[in-house]
Structure 1
Amino acid sequence: MYKVLIVDDEAMIREDLKDFVQWEAAGFTEVRLAASGQTALLAASETKFDLVLADINMPRMNGLVMIRSLRESGYKGHIVVITAYGEFEYAKTAITLGVKEYVLKPIDFREMNVIVRRIADQLREETETVRSQQYAVEAKASAAELLEATALQRRERAEAAIGALFAARERLRQPLPVVLSVLQQTIVQAEAQLNGYNPSYYATKQPLFLELLQRQSACETEQDVRQLFRQLAAHLIDCYEAAGTVEGGAFSQLKPLIKAHLGEEISLEWLAQRVHISANYLSVVFKKETGENFNEFVMRERMMTARELLRNKEHRIVDIGERVGYANYRSFSRAFKNFFGLSPSEFREQQGSR
């Protein structure tokens, strides 16, 4: 599972460390040897070692120089140094390089085995943390994909998202309670999304989500959880099919909300938080309903509003620019001219000549 690099210029010490330390029992499946710092750096550039065991006092390149080079190259693994009496100043310097363990010569292999087991335990904890963090990222993406697929009524895509979530669970070795937590969060997000899509229709389906939440607490096997994910997806697709078009649901709320905040920094994520719909789904909605992507839609709303305001000469052009989201006249003028082919002042002059 783990890999160790032993660096010492004395062949006997290298071999003894390889033979008398219980590497395999601790979880180290690969033990490599290097006779110098230069050879060790080359090996580390080709292989990701979890532990480097290095003698401090070596010719040509001592252990401290090698360790510093390792750190500078990005190595973040564990390091144990081997030192002799009278070399404690070296050991102090090693501490500044992130070395937390050292072994005195002559080597006590009982002590060495204790240190190796302790480091192996730390590596297992680190591995579990990394796996957990990675699963959280992948599960969030799969859940978002599932919600978007159901909103678009894509059954095969929803099934693929569920498959990806459980494949990640197997690959990253996550316990069932972690997946249950993802299921619970996905049910809650599905409620919010359907409510944002069509509040009146969601109200009639709220008991269904309460039942799903109650049933998830009784899941005991992966098959139970997978089946509940599938039932959630099927229920959601049925809901979206029955709820009608987006125009009768969330989309009718979006345009006035955007117009009311044109003077602010508006993003897809900003809007998604306010209407409780995923940003990915909103992106699809805008393209489907308007033929434009979100940024194009907001730009058009800003320009159309600015054009109406420019017809009233009581409004200063710079104030109009601020009202539609531009901090200064130059950026407003450039955007307006790109959109209409005239600067704001030219447009106003043209209006006055009519």
Structure 2
Amino acid sequence: MYRVFIVDDEPFIIEGLYDIIDWADYGLEIVGHAGNGQKALEALRHTPVDVLITDISMPVMNGLDLIRGARQQRPELKAIVLSGFSEFEYLKEGMKLGIENYLLKPINVDELSSTLTTTVAKLHSSKTDSLLDAYGKQILKDNTLYRWLMGQIAPAEFRERAELLGLSLNQPYIAVAVLHLQRGDSGRLLEKLNDRLKDKESYAVFRDVDGDLVIAAALPHWVEGKREFLELMAELGEELEEENPVQIGIGSIGQLPDEAVLSYEEAKKSLQYFLIYPEHRLIDYSLLPANERISRPEFPVVWQDYAKLILAKDKDQLLARIAQDFEDMQAIPGVTPEYVQDAALELMVRFKMTLQDIKHTEESDLFRQGFDCIRNASSYTELVEAIGDVACRVIESLVKDVKSPVVHQVLRYIHDHYAEELSLKTLGAHYHIHPVYLGQLFHKEAGETFTEYINKYRVERAKEQLVATNLKVHEIARSVGYWETGYFYKQFKKYVGISPTEYKSLH
């Protein structure tokens, strides 16, 4: 769990934030709150916090000064600002501090949810260290452009922030390229790209939550703009080859603003095709043979059905579906061997992307042999067998994790270290598994979320101490892992039905 601290001089705002969001669903827990910046800063000196949500206008110390002070103790702290006023100066100052978002009161729950999702994704990312090295304008730029290309920001808000950030995307067309770094420092590469493209006013460079570098270019002309964009991406690939080799995926040219999201999706998907075409430095999604053919309406595969079978881990039905679909494909009038092979390769890419979405980690080795077998298949039977073999490996990978002892190891670790700071991030690093996927596995095997289990376990240990010792409530709270006594009271009453003090008086 990542730890959240809330600061606002209006108690009903704090209470509302506790209630309007199911924090555990985001992998977050509120560990404390305060009514002004000074009290918050004092609390933060002994309370580990990952995300600070603060009002701007408060007595004693305002939110911006609080962020500055808190960052001296914890430079990587994520900050989300609340305000009852749309003050440009406040927003500009917040941008300099590298805030995640500037939310106006009354708080829009959807916007807060979107901001929390993006913030947690950054914290989860395996490349978080490089993302945390730079603050200020680039971080707000990363956040704004990523939310824009994910369709998570309203047009009016985006225009306002683009103007503030000096982004010039006022052209009719959009092209997006995603650069996946094969080795080297993404922070240095970001600096290189910003320097290389500094004269391109309608180009914007940022990092997404996967740590990939994204170039979004607003283009005045479709044909000429696309040609220049592709030439520039090819030049970048050559320039970076020796020191920072990259794989470059390019989405289709689209119209602004409606097709920006699609271009980014296609650019990200293009990266998956480097397993099929490892000799390429750049892949343009619009030129992929698989894309041209498999998009035809007569293609018999309904991917949603495959995805459901994968999630259900139904190997027999999945194999039967593959055999039936490729048998149907053979019956398509005018079908060619190349068409069938391209369809099989496309299916492999979708298998890989689905497994990556579920497990939040790449398993390229699992698919390399399958791609080679499909490319080298000399008969329809060999082709279907190759697809079926990869499908079985995908299911086995998921089944293996469900039966994996890692959750049992995590449970033992919780029982031995429940008084310490525990989170999916730290345990994921300890057991070499992605925190998001660990949370999913834990929920499946334990029957409840990671946060729920820890809170229940800590409350049970607290009940024992309330009966057997003369320790004060705040001492017991600390001894079972709660830094903030108010939060301990809230969790205790949630699971026991009465307060710790009332429970102690009954025993």
Shorter chain as denominator, the TM-score bin is 0.3 to 0.5
TM-score relative to the length of structure 2: 0.31
Larger radius of gyration: 1
TM-score relative to the length of structure 1: 0.41
Greater fraction helix = 1
